[in-house]
């Protein structure tokens, strides 16, 4: 199978995440895209991250009607810091029949050389960079497949900030996710 992996904090998941997953799946002819929430991202302040349970529940609500999108809980189940190499080594060892396409933002291409064990990681996955600005990327140091998508300027941090001051960011995230946030008093 050809499987896309879209990792992220998903704090919370929003329509831009879903759009990217859906469009990469269609444009590359992938069998599915798995959304993989990070457990403890090494690059994000964990104080601003809500529990994995809430993030997983929101992701489940967001993708429940999309048969080509699924959850991958590998990093949550492993615990500790989430390093892509460790996760992809485990997945490729357990499922050698699959080809994995790791989806990143176009802005991450220049930072791949800072990723843990990147020289080994590029042997395990095909990187797919989503360039949302139609800007010319620098020549990648590592092999990267480019997918150009329209910009959906939605950010999880802006959604959290909006909710924290009493505004409900309708239409930026699935209604079920917004209801879940409201019902559980998250970000307030």
Please count the structural domains in the chain: 1
Q: Is residue 55 part of a domain?
A: yes
What confidence tens digit (pLDDT) does each residue in 160-174 have? Answer: 999 999 999 999 999
Give the model's pLDDT for residue 37.
96
Q: Whose CA is closest to 60, among 104, 10, 109?
A: 10
Q: Considering the domain boundaries, does residue 156 fall inside one?
A: yes
Give the pLDDT band (50/70/90) at residue 106: confident
pLDDT at 116 over 80: yes
Domain limits for position 9: 2-86+97-107+124-136+145-184
Within a domain: residue 115? Answer: no
> With the CA atoms of 22, 24, 30 and 34 taken in that order, what torsion angle do they form, in degrees rounded to the nearest 10?
-60
For residue 44, give the CATH number of its domain: 3.40.50.620
Please report whether residue 149 resides in a domain: yes
Please state, in angstroms and rounded to a whole number, the distance separating the CA atoms of residues 142 and 25.
Answer: 22
Helix, strand, coil % over all residues of the chain, rounded to 5: 40, 20, 40
Q: Does residue 59 sit within a domain?
A: yes
Sole residue written with tokens 């469009």: 23
pLDDT score, position 91:
97
Which is more confidently placed, 41 or 55? Answer: 55
Using DSSP's 3-state secondary structure scheme, residue 162 falls into helix
In a domain, 171, yes or no: yes
pLDDT the model gives residue 111: 87
Could you report how far apart the first and last alpha carbons of the chain are, in Å?
Answer: 41
112 within domain boundaries: no
**Residue 147 pLDDT more than 60?**
yes
Does a structural domain hold residue 92? Answer: no
pLDDT confidence band for 135 (50 / 70 / 90)? low
pTM of the model: 0.92
Helical segments of 64-174, H only = 74-78, 84-94, 118-121, 156-164
């Amino acid at each position: 199978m050809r499987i896309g992996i879209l990792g992220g904090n998903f704090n919370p998941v929003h329509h831009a995440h879903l759009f990217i997953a859906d469009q990469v799946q269609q444009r590359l002819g992938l069998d599915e895209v798995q959304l993989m929430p990070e457990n403890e991202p090494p690059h994000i302040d964990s104080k601003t991250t809500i529990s994995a349970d809430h993030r997983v529940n929101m992701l489940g609500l967001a993708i429940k009607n999309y048969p080509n999108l699924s959850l991958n809980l590998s990093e949550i189940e492993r615990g500790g810091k989430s390093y892509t190499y460790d996760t992809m080594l485990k997945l490729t060892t357990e499922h050698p029949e699959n080809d994995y396409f790791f989806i990143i933002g176009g802005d991450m291409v220049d930072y791949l050389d800072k990723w843990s064990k990147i020289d080994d990681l590029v042997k395990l996955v095909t990187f797919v960079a989503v360039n949302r600005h139609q800007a010319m990327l620098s020549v990648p140091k590592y092999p990267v497949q480019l997918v150009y998508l329209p910009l959906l300027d939605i950010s999880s941090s802006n959604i959290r900030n909006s909710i924290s001051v009493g505004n409900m960011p309708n239409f930026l995230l699935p209604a079920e996710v917004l209801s879940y946030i409201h019902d559980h008093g998250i970000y307030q």
